[in-house]
Structures are given as C-alpha cells and as structure tokens.
Structure 1
C-alpha cells in the first residue's frame, strides 16, 4: 500500500446498507480503499485497532456497542463519518463542523459533499477531531429519537400468513423462530396438532421484530429471531459463536458473537 492510499472502514449491522455505501463510495471516491466491514461497534473498534483505517463510516444505531460509543473509543485514530436516519436530532452536533454525517437513504449528492470535505481535511493534514462533549450530546439526542419512534402499542399477538391459498392467523406464542429471507421473513411455528409448520410473509424481519414482545423474542443473529420459550439448549462453538436447539423442531439456529451476551449464564 503506498503512502497516497486512503483507507476506510464501513460499520453497519445491515449487509445491504453496507453494500450500498461501498458502491456509492466507489463512485464518489474511486481511489478510496475499503479495508474492512464491521457488523457492530465492537467489530469496528477491533478492525480499527488491527488495520488503522484513515476513515470510519459508522452507522449510529447498531446492536451491542453503538456507532456513537464506538466513535468514543476510536477517538482520534480515524476521521469519523456517522450514518444516521435521524438528521433532525443529529444536525446540531454536526453543525460545529468537527464531525460529518450521511443521512439514510444515502444519496450520491450528499455523499459527494462528505467526500469533498474529507479530501480537503486530509490534503490539508488537519487533525482528526474527537469531541467527547459532542459525542455525549449526540448519544442523548439519538436516544430520544429512538424512544420517540417506538410504537406505543401492545406487542403483536397474531401473524397473518398465506399457507396453500389459505390465510392463517398464527398465534405469536406458537412461533418458534423467524428467519430473514431476502425481502420476506420465514415464520416457523407449531400448528394446532403440534406439527412443525412454516410460511413466508411479506414483512422484513427487522420490522416484524419491532412489533414483538422483547421479553419473549430475541434476535440471536442478523437473520434469526427466536422465541426464548422454544429454546431447548445453547451450545457454544469454538469461534465465539453458538447454536440453539429447539424443543419441538430439528433446526439448529446460529447465534453470532454480537448476541452471545444473551446467554452469558451458560
């Protein structure tokens, strides 16, 4: 790698959004080298320590360690760019000019402005800026934003699904697990006779999870949500992952490193 090469890390828990940002960056800044992608704040911190990228594009809201908390730990080791869906709450912190941000959905024009500012900062050898006060302010603003968007309704009790041309009303408590399947979600449940059943519904896993009781359902992988009452056992792997066995189904569900803390009592 020559001295002129600028490197970057992308951190986002959504693979499709990472792919979009990578593609947009390749168009706006062809010489930029993406050296790593991270699925959460903890992975971002580890990758920064290992690879020392010049720039970090951090999704603000990620499972476990958030992008804001990751930024606080990364400090001045990289130029920081936040990716956020909450422009109205984040704008005040960024107006000081010491941090930059991109609003979802990512547009070519907004990214071009960000790239230009980054290039100017790096050409002038301006210092990497870390403002603890502004990061604390941003964390508080985004926490309020997240709370404001939570629906004030009771958790979902039934899931509608078409099975063989028949509309089924699936009781949520009968669902054993959910899997992301492109733009759909696979719902696995026990039918009235106690037999395993499955159906695809036209609702992304992330949207469905937001409507479920968090005391009953837990995300254990970026593509898997499990009914905790359906869990028979959890077996740790050799690489900081685990597998879930279910009480009444043969599937073994993956648990990624980001969600192992849910089973820390093992």
Structure 2
C-alpha cells in the first residue's frame, strides 16, 4: 500500500518546542517537516513558498496569534493546533482543525492525531454525501476531537449554529452542523426528526407518552430525561415506526 507523504510546517515561537516536536515526528516517515517558523510573518512566507499539506500551529505567540495567521493566508490543508492552553478548543473546532494537542505532547497522543489524517481526508471527500450508519464524524468532546460512529449517536439537539450530540456511552460533544444538514445526510432508516431542535436514533426508543398539550415525550435508552416531540412530527414518526 502506498502511504501518502505530508509536507508539514511547524509554527511556534518557542524553539525548544519546535525541536521537541521535530524529534517526535522522526518516528513518522509519512510526515516531512519542510520548514519551521517562530512568528506569523515568517510563517506566511514559508507557507507560500512550500505549499504544505499540514500545519502544526501554536496559538499564543508574540505579536500575532495562530488564528491571526489563518486569517492572513490562504491554506486549505490540515491544521493541528499545538498549545499549552485549553481555552481555544472551541474556536479551533469552528475552523475545522484536525486536532488540538496540549503541551507537552506525548508520542502516543501525537500518533493518534496523525492517524486521523487519512480518515479525515476520506471524510472531507464525502462531506456532502449521505451518511451510512457505519460512518464516522469528527465531534468535539471536551478538549479533543473524537472520530465518532454514527451508530453510537442517540440524540442530536440544536444549539444555535451548532449541534449537541449525545452518544450511547453517555458522552456528548458539539459539531458545526444544522438540523437541516443532519436531515439531509443522516440515514433515514435509523434517524428521525421529532422537533425543530431534535433528532433521535429510532434504535434507542423505549416508549412514547402523550402529554396533556397534545405533544409527546419520547424515552430513549441511555438518556435519563424524556425528549419532547411536537405534534408536527408525530405522524412522521408513527409512519416510520409502523
């Protein structure tokens, strides 16, 4: 099997941090570090010169931040943030970063991050296609991006421009996706819209109860509190469940 090589640039104002990461990357033959930069202006020039596939990017740097860099340069490759601060994980998620690594980085954690490259490439190429029940999606859970199985999703709840995803193993995370996008891409055999702000996995439905106001509450296996279903969606669910 041919292994794709990725050209990488390391951007960090700390020389020792760059050196440590280069040392770790020597264990990964498919990652070729073509340059390193200690500030945003230097990084811009190197990105334009080398056209890298991957950036290892620090966030807090003197003068301008890693986010400032991304606003100034056109880069369509993969981004792995490498930082000592966990406060920027959500913003990193918003710009579709491949991962968010906290210093100091272990070889094991780096390996997990790099293993996502090929999987993420496949995910990007299929971004507009319908999802299969066996497919996976990247979801931000706490401080980490998790490659989550569609089949493990019990409930999806709208949260503004984001969605909150609840799983069968009692975890939850967020993803930048609207209810309309979920409706268009999720396998209809398993998932059903029950409210303007909720989608459920039919595999986990335990019982449905009628409420006093003609709405319904749905009890899902693995979720303690029932989920409201509006009358508007009740007929569609009834047809789906026979």
Structure 2-normalised TM-score? 0.46
